[in-house]
Amino acid sequence: MSRGPSLQVRLLGLMFGVLAALWAATLALTLSDTRHELDELLDAHLAQSASLLLVQDADADEDVAAPDAPILHRYAPRVAFQVWRDGRLVLRSANAPALPFGPAARRDGFAFVDAPGARWRVFAAYDPARRRQVYVGERLDARGEILAAVLRGVSWPLALALPVLGLATWWTVRRGLAPLRRMGRTLAARRSDALDPVALDGMSAEMLPLAASLNGLLGRIADLLANERRFTADAAHELRTPVAAIRMQAQVAQAATDDATRAHALDGLLAGCDRAARLIDQLLTLARVESAQAPEMAGVELGGVTRGVMAELAPAALAKAQRLELDAQGTYVVRGNALLLAVLVRNLVDNAVRYAPPGAAIGVYLHREGDQVVLDVEDGGAGLADADLARLGERFYRVAGNGAAGSGLGWSIVRRIAAVHGARVAVRRSERLGGLAVAVTFG
């Protein structure tokens, strides 16, 4: 059996992936926002510097070119300016070119300018009253260096936070899955025959459905094992009598000195074999009905099932001179399993044939009561006393004083099949025939 990745590994992989994506998205948003804010700030500085150059030294003689402004700071070469009047350069920084910085057609506003050795961000301002044109520019690579320095300052905390968040995520996931590991250890430490339910006290809401399903499975397994043990015990208990009878008849036949005795013993031997075979068949039927597996259900015409069962049992009734009667006018469809319903009807009719006296009448009636279908099986026998009716349905219980062969399992089978189909079983004295009446109500 191939083993997939653990739940902890999958959760950690998903969480680390989400953290990495969030970290990358945060870095990208920080880069974009910082670039925008930095450009806004530096552009404002360019505009402010151009304004100062426009208004400064208003009384100076601009007909005489002033010397280049000195470089007073190591970052000063990154910024340059020019002051022009009537097309003549009157003032500039030492790193500014001698030609106009900005395009000739543009006197105001921002522009990108390519100059020898660098690309500049230039702000142009013009004073028409004094016919003064000012250009203030900043190297774009200088802006890139500033942006990189800012991002380095921001990225280091983010980079340090990522493994810390990863470690915290690992610890959180591991702690969150601790109850699942504890349950696994508890189940692994159980004995192989321990089928008692898992304790649900203090269990988290996420694990309750799993634990409840596990308890349901353990309960079904316990029921199956109980049914198997009961079946084994029942078989051992009930088969002991017919096997002992078969052995005794075999010994009689073996020791017989005349044909009549031997024939009588062999007849008893065959009868014992028949009883053992019927008992085994009943036990297997009861075990199959009591299994936890739900049978397949479909629409079943109960009248057809009943006719087929009565045709099978007619020879046994004729052998006792009994009269079988079926009253099933119309169609009676119930939801159920055809095989199990046939077993139910067969047990009811077979019990009536076995326990009713010779010559008795046995009636099977199908009718409706509203939306319900009712199956009635009645006989003309002596019926049952109240004490016997109270014990009817107990395993292996047989009414004392009745010589009919039986295992005492038929009623258990009937009640179990009725329960599987959601039907009700009621027993009373028959008003029509005077004996026992059994009513099975479906729906």
Q: Tell me what pLDDT residue 388 has.
A: 57
Residue 308 and residue 390 share a domain = yes
In a domain, residue 345? The reply is yes
pTM, whole model, 2 decimals?
A: 0.47
Residues near 186 by Cβ (< 8 Å), separated by ≥ 6?
198
Q: Determine, yes or no, domain membership for 197.
A: no
Answer whether residue 196 is part of any domain.
no
pLDDT along the chain (443 residues), means of 10: 68 81 83 85 87 69 51 62 86 82 68 81 88 88 84 78 81 80 79 78 77 82 73 60 72 80 79 71 66 74 91 88 90 89 89 88 92 92 63 51 53 83 88 88 90
Tally of CB atoms within 10 A around 43 = 15
Q: Give residue 315's domain range.
A: 296-442
Residues 235 and 342 in one domain: no
Query: What is the structure's pLDDT at 285?
Result: 66
Q: 136 with 81: CB under 8 angstroms?
A: yes
89 contacts: CB under 8 Å, gap ≥ 6: 65, 82, 83, 98
Q: Which CATH number belongs to the domain containing residue 114 in this structure?
A: 3.30.450
CA distances for 163 relative to 20, 154, 168, 169, 243, angstroms: 10, 16, 8, 10, 78
Residue 145 lies in a domain: yes
Q: Token pair for residue 78?
A: 């990154």
Say what the pLDDT of residue 104 is: 52
Alpha helix locations (H) across 320-377?
338-355
- Domain identity same for 23 and 144: yes
Question: What per-residue confidence (pLDDT) applies to 211?
Answer: 81
Q: How many domains does the chain divide into?
A: 3
Same structural domain for residues 144 and 19?
yes
Q: Please give the pLDDT value at position 374.
A: 94
- Tell me which of 287, 304, 333 is where a domain ends: 287
Tokens of 70: 């000195």
Indicate whether 1 belongs to any domain: no
Domain boundary residue, one of 287, 305, 330: 287
Structure tokens that stand for 120 in this block = 């500049």
Query: At 240, which CATH number?
Result: 1.10.287
Q: Looking at the structure, do residues 311 and 431 belong to the same domain, yes or no?
A: yes
Q: What pLDDT sits at residue 70?
A: 54
Asked whether residue 301 is domain-assigned, the answer is: yes
